[in-house]
Amino acid sequence: MGVGSKLGEVAPFTVMVIMEGCTIALTIMAKTVMSRGMSPFVFVVYTNALGTLILLPYSFLYHRERSTHTHTLVYLYIFPSEFLRFFVN
């Protein structure tokens, strides 16, 4: 029983406590800004934008080793055309 196995057992609980803290902080922040007059829709947009800014760099770093040129072609050429076609049709 080394330190690594103990850390593996404690890590899920630690992450759960951190996530609960984030949920509580977000609830308090939502109550505060909405009591001052912010629209709930604006708050949702700001919250999602903040989450995107936080998680997007992690996604690029995590998937960097597994990316191939085929995936790059799909993202650069096929996805934008399908995205635009969604709005045109």
pLDDT, tens digit (0-9, with 9 covering 90-100), for 7-18 = 778 888 999 999
Question: What percentage of the chain has pLDDT greater than the value 70?
Answer: 65
- Overall pTM surpassing 0.95 (yes/no): no
Asked if residues 34 and 43 have their Cβ atoms less than 8 Å apart, the reply is yes
Asked if residues 30 and 43 have their Cβ atoms less than 8 Å apart, the reply is yes
